[in-house]
C-alpha cells in the first residue's frame, strides 16, 4: 500500500513509519518542520502543516495514498489548558483538513485511516481497567479535542468515505531503532533525565502511588500495522492500544534506578488532581487484531529508553 504517516518523524510516528516500510509498504512521513534526524530507511519525507490546506492537499493528492496513519497532533495536556484554541485548531481543525484532502482521492471510500487518539478520553472517573464502551468524560481540552476528532471520523466512515480504526493510546515509552522519546515532560524521559543528572530531580506529585500503564513504542507500531489490515470500508473500529498492566509512579522510579544503577533524586510536590489509576482493558485489540504487546514490561521500556539515550550521547 501507499501510506502517509502524519507526524511521521515524531517519536511514535517514526516507529510506525519504519515498521510499515519494513513490511514493504511505500511510506511517506509528513512533517511540518525540517527533520532533526534522517528518516527511517525506505521512508520518503513530505513537508506540510495540517493547517496549511494547500500544502496538505498537494501532499495527499500527489501521493495517491491507499491509507493514512494520522499521528500529527498537539499532545500536551498542560499546554491545552493554557491555549485550548490552539489545541483544537490542530487536533480537530487539522483532522478536518486532512479528511477533506483525503476526499480528493479517487478511491476515497476505500481509503484506510488509522487515527491516534488517547486513553485520556475516558476521564478521571474511568473504571480500572477501562474498556472501549466506557463513558467518555474527557477532563482536558486535549482529551476533548481527541474525542471530537474520533466522533468526526466515525461519521465520515458511516457516510462511506473511510475505512477507519481509532487506537486509543495510553502512555507510549521506550525506544525503537535507537530513537527514544525526546519530550522530557513525560514520566519515563523525566525520570531518566534525573538519573543522568541532566536535571536537579524528578518532580513527584504526592507519594508516587498513582498508577498508569505504558506501551512500548515498537509494540504500538505493530498495532498500527495490524489496524491497517483490519480497516473495513464504512466502519469505524475503536480499540484501546495499551498493555493492560498498571504500574505506579514509584515503581517506575524504582525500575529506573535498578536499570541505570543510579539514584533518581526526587523533588516532592503536593498530590495533583488526577486519576488514581488509568489502565486499559486491552482484551478487544488482542482478540480482534491478534496484537500482543510483548515488549511492554516497564523493565524493557526503561532499558530500551536508557540505551537509546546513551547511544545518542556518544
Cell numbers describing residue 250: 514509584
Distance CA 132, CA 240 (A): 7
Residue 164: strand pairing partners: 113, 236
C-alpha cell at 128: 480500572
For 237-265, give the secondary structure using H, E and C: EEEEECCCCEEEHHHHHHHHHHHHCCCCC
- Active-site residue identified among 65, 115, 142, 214: 142
Contact 27, 42 (CB under 8 A): yes
142 is catalytic: yes
Rounded to whole angstroms, the Cα distance separating 153 from 98 reads 11
Measured CA to CA, the distance from residue 137 to residue 125 in angstroms comes to 8
Catalytic amino acids?
142
Amino acid at each position: 500500500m501507499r501510506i502517509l504517516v502524519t507526524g511521521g518523524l515524531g517519536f511514535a510516528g517514526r516507529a510506525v513509519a519504519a515498521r510499515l516500510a519494513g513490511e514493504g509498504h511505500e511510506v511517506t512521513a509528513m512533517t511540518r518542520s525540517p527533520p532533526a534526524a534522517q528518516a527511517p530507511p525506505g521512508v520518503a519525507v513530505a513537508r506540510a502543516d495540517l493547517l496549511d490546506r494547500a500544502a496538505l492537499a498537494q501532499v495527499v493528492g500527489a501521493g495517491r495514498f491507499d491509507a493514512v496513519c494520522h499521528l500529527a497532533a498537539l499532545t500536551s495536556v498542560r499546554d491545552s489548558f493554557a491555549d485550548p484554541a490552539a489545541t483544537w485548531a490542530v487536533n480537530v481543525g487539522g483532522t478536518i483538513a486532512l479528511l477533506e484532502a483525503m476526499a480528493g482521492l479517487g478511491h476515497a471510500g476505500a481509503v484506510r485511516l488509522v487515527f491516534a487518539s488517547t486513553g485520556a478520553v475516558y476521564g478521571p472517573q474511568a473504571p480500572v481497567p477501562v474498556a472501549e464502551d466506557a463513558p467518555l468524560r474527557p477532563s482536558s481540552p486535549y482529551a476533548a479535542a481527541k474525542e471530537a476528532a474520533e466522533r468526526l471520523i466515525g461519521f465520515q466512515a458511516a457516510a462511506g468515505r473511510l475505512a477507519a480504526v481509532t487506537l486509543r493510546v495510553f502512555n507510549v515509552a521506550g525506544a525503537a531503532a535507537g530513537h527514544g522519546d525526546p519530550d522530557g515532560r513525560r514520566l519515563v524521559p523525566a525520570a531518566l533525565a534525573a538519573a543522568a543528572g541532566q536535571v536537579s530531580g524528578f518532580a513527584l506529585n504526592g507519594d508516587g502511588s498513582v498508577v498508569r500503564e505504558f506501551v512500548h513504542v515498537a509494540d504500538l507500531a505493530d498495532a498500527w500495522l495490524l489496524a491497517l489490515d483490519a480497516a473495513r470500508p464504512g466502519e469505524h473500529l475503536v480499540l484501546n492500544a495499551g498493555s493492560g498492566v498498571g504500574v505506579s509512579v514509584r515503581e517506575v522510579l524504582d525500575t529506573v534506578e535498578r536499570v541505570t544503577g543510579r539514584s533518581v533524586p526526587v523533588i516532592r510536590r503536593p498530590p495533583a488532581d488526577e486519576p488514581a489509576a488509568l489502565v486499559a482493558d486491552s482484551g478487544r485489540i488482542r482478540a480482534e487484531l491478534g496484537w500482543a504487546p510483548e515488549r511492554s514490561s516497564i523493565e524493557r521500556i526503561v532499558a530500551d529508553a536508557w540505551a537509546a539515550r546513551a547511544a545518542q550521547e556518544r
